[in-house]
Structure 1
């Protein structure tokens, strides 16, 4: 299954709407075919590792239950106005991952995941704010969305696990039908209510804050603490008070930190952090060697990225080595393999023909076999 945006200008969207203002796009997926149904979604919500929850609104107020769920749970919880929400569905279903790929005009490192929700009539999670950009793609059924302006919105908690905001004045009030899409920038209040039974696909993005960026620093010295440069002060002179930390000392300490941030080690640590997607573990039954992989490909086997896998790379000055990152891990390849590796990273299937185009076929087979054995690429069924 593939998804392509229609009636949609990437240039106009990025220049006029991205992180600027919300917008409705009609029939951008026409016709839209749901990559899963509510039964599939419930099945994922029953998995131990899945991040799922149900939000119920009844005469007594709001209620939140967290998965994993059982069939008995669904029988008891699917009452009144309810919504089942599952995060990271793109990591479980190739067709859901294909929907995310329709938005790859936004860099992979800015992508978060695909949250899918199924709601009964009147179901929703209440008025709220998100700190990230989101595309809301309507699947089966219809949902009404109201969007307000950014501002000082007062938070409220009708349930300890449900953060909402007080009702807001809507500047946009629309009903989405299958194949329609609503884009909402960060901090624009919104509220979605199911008109009838409906599926909604939330393509979420991420923007690391300063606290998250700082998390990359320990990684720099995790494996090589002897590379850390220690503070020295050979020009120290007597000072007026023993408690004083001089501005000169603080500037020197700051410069030590800046030297780290300006080095290649920080760049690698940052890319490890940005590429770490916490992908589900999925290893092949039999590990591949370059020779056995080559034989499998010649016999017609095809390999592809596992669902939800979004590799990263950044340009470097190294003329002989190409470096890329998958799920927090660093990989290297010869520059002779760079164009082939880039094609594979972008989602091109690994086939015998793909390997034959590379100048150094054995080196490419080594890279691909490693990625398969790590569980980041898999046999295409």
Structure 2
């Protein structure tokens, strides 16, 4: 388990003084940090079709980018290139544990765990992100430069690389294993590897208004909602047929507003939308359903683990009614097992001791069996 070592400030002070305000280097944020995955293992994962991976290299003054899967890296030489993998938490149980250190931020905002291996002088170039990121330095060393927030001109250094023009650094520091660099959205930054190095980035992002509205419209269509038309039985005659007067404008606006004000409809959409997987998961449904007694016995002996990348949330004001959301769907459960459902949503791993009071509860056994069959949770080996 990775545990944050905050000696410069508390979690509350970090959120107050730095979160979405300014970047900061957290020296030795992880004590005695060791890579949870080796460069060779990372390269092997990038060979898989389902994995989102990129190779970025720089030679003769030109940037190049390739998308995986990759079969070989021999043609790249020994410097000036980086391998980047998105959503490593979906493919490596050990690497996913890094995310656990950041659970003081609600995980409906979590994007993924990105990892990169870089050779000497390897970099993805100077760029800006639209999300908050905690860059955790693994083995090796990288020099990071971070500029101030403001107007920065972006340009395409390659069709797959959006870079930012040169900037003055407010942070210019060499990171070593265990150091963490936090960067809010909109701050230009560039990391350059000083030797063969690994880094792991935990990203948090929200959705744009237009993406929310678009997804909400899709949700209404899928659920045959929002079909109400404007009714105005007390309409008065107009002298200006080409006008949309203030009363009609309010009618049109209220037609949309009523949908947003419908808490049941909008909460259902939000729960389903926020639990949709951000990236493909290593999903393996259970082919042989468990018997009740088998589940009870195994729960007495081992932990229950959530599949990497699976998103499971609840609303604090409706979970007691027996409602949670898992992988894009609303899931109803017996409200008597609410405490353990919250436990499963709050934690990726729940051990047998915490599950002891529930191992013979029929409602919980039924819930667990359904999740096991879908491949959403599994038993620790």
Q: Structure 2 length as normaliser, TM-score?
A: 0.93
Q: Which residue of 1 aligns with 2:63?
A: 62
Seen in structure 2, the aligned counterparts of structure 1 residues 119 and 322 have a Cα distance that, compared at 3 Å, is same
Q: Which residue of 1 aligns with 2:48?
A: 47
Seen in structure 2, the aligned counterparts of structure 1 residues 209 and 224 have a Cα distance that, compared at 3 Å, is closer
Separation of aligned partners in 1, 2:140 and 2:359? 51
Q: Structure 1 length as normaliser, TM-score?
A: 0.93
* SS at structure 1 position matched to 2:15: helix
1:28-60 deviations in Å (ceiling 9; x for gaps): 111001110111111111111111001100114
CA contact (8 A) 2:33 2:177 kept: yes
Q: Which residue of 1 aligns with 2:115?
A: 116
Q: Is the counterpart of residue 140 in structure 1 residue 139 in structure 2?
A: yes
Separation of aligned partners in 2, 1:176 and 1:167? 21
Seen in structure 2, the aligned counterparts of structure 1 residues 318 and 95 have a Cα distance that, compared at 3 Å, is closer
Separation of aligned partners in 1, 2:117 and 2:319? 48
Q: Which residue of 2 aligns with 1:346?
A: 346
Q: Which residue of 2 aligns with 1:297?
A: 299
- Write out aligned runs for 1:229-248 (5 A): 229-248=228-247
1:300-324 deviations in Å (ceiling 9; x for gaps): 35431112333111123586x2211
Q: Which residue of 2 aligns with 1:375?
A: 375
* SS at structure 2 position matched to 1:259: helix
- Runs of 4+ with >6 A deviation: none
For structure 2, the 5+ residue unaligned runs are: none
Seen in structure 2, the aligned counterparts of structure 1 residues 227 and 81 have a Cα distance that, compared at 3 Å, is closer
* SS at structure 2 position matched to 1:102: helix
* SS at structure 2 position matched to 1:225: coil
State the aligned residue count: 376
1:242 CA displacement: 3.5
Separation of aligned partners in 2, 1:169 and 1:13? 24
Q: Is the counterpart of residue 310 in structure 1 residue 304 in structure 2?
A: no
1:120-169 deviations in Å (ceiling 9; x for gaps): 11010111111111001000000000111111111121211110011101
Q: Which residue of 2 aligns with 1:323?
A: 323
Note the aligned Cα RMSD (angstroms): 2.1
1:215-235 deviations in Å (ceiling 9; x for gaps): 332244244426632211212
1:380 CA displacement: 1.0
CA contact (8 A) 1:279 1:309 kept: no
* SS at structure 1 position matched to 2:333: strand
Seen in structure 2, the aligned counterparts of structure 1 residues 179 and 267 have a Cα distance that, compared at 3 Å, is same
CA contact (8 A) 1:304 1:378 kept: yes
Separation of aligned partners in 1, 2:180 and 2:289? 42
Separation of aligned partners in 2, 1:283 and 1:367? 15
- Write out aligned runs for 1:17-166 (5 A): 17-71=18-72, 74-78=73-77, 80-166=79-165
CA contact (8 A) 2:50 2:280 kept: no
